[in-house]
Every structure is written in structure tokens, then in C-alpha cells.
Amino acid sequence: AQTVTQSQPEMSVQEAETVTLSCTYDTSESDYYLFWYKQPPSRQMILVIRQEAYKQQNATENRFSVNFQKAAKSFSLKISDSQLGDAAMYFCAYRSAFGGNDMRFGAGTRLTVKP
């Protein structure tokens, strides 16, 4: 079964600085999707960014970008110009492209933004 590992339980960043959250995954499949979700104190899960494994180009959404290294099975999230509203739990998730609904989540990284 696929597993997703987030090795940083907590991270902190100064406002306006850049921070990178790590995620690695284990799979034998060649095609899949990767996601980063944000969970603020309200606890609603919000999609941050999505990456298709067959695309070599790294996904970008405004201040959020990923570094997708398929061979290394690594999918890190970079947040640029950090804002106070970025403070939240961030979850990395993996989903197979071959059917079923086998979406796997990491344990999360809690990001604190210091003013």
C-alpha cells in the first residue's frame, strides 16, 4: 500500500519569508496525483495545489509552488512571502490514477508564521 510521510511535525517561518514543507511517498505505480491541503484552525480542508505525476512541470498557485522529484518520490511545498493567514496544518496526499479511491494522507506539518 502507498504511504505518505511528512517528516516535519512542526515548522515556523517569519512573515514575508519563504518556507519549504517536505513530503515523501512510497508507491510502485507510474501514474498518480499528489496534493497539498491546508487545514486552518477552522479545521476545513482547503486544496492548496495539485500535481499530476505525468507532468514534469512543477505546479504553481500564486505564492505556493511544489518541487516534484518523481525519481526520489519527493513532493515538497514552498510558500513564498509567508503571511499570517498561512498558519495552519498542511497535509500532503497521494492518489492513484488507476481507479478506486485510495487517497492517502500524511500526518501533517503544523506551520507557525511569526509576525
Partner 1 sequence: DGGITQSPKYLFRKEGQNVTLSCEQNLNHDAMYWYRQDPGQGLRLIYYSQIVNDFQKGDIAEGYSVSREKKESFPLTVTSAQKNPTAFYLCASSISWEETQYFGPGTRLLVL
- Show the site string, 25-44: x = touches partner 1 by CB under 8 A, - = not: --------x-x-x----xxx
Distance CA 86, CA 25 (A): 24
DSSP the chain: --EEE---SEEEEETTS-EEE--EEE---S-EEEEEEEE-TT---EEEEEEETT--SPPEETTEEEEEETTTTEEEEEE-S--GGG-EEEEEEEEESSSS--EEE---EEEEEE-
**Taking CB under 8 A as the rule, does residue 21 contact partner 1?**
no
Out of 18, 47, 83, 114, name the contact with partner 1 by CB under 8 A: 47
**Taking CB under 8 A as the rule, does residue 107 contact partner 1?**
yes
Q: Which is nearer to partner 1, 6 or 82 (CB)?
A: 6
Out of 81, 103, 112, 114, name the contact with partner 1 by CB under 8 A: 103
Q: Which is nearer to partner 1, 44 or 115 (CB)?
A: 44
Closest distance of CB 108 from partner 1, Å: 6
How many C-beta atoms lie closer than 10 Å to residue 2's C-beta? 15
Report the interface residues with partner 1, using CB under 8 A. 4, 33, 35, 37, 42-47, 50, 91, 93, 97, 99-108
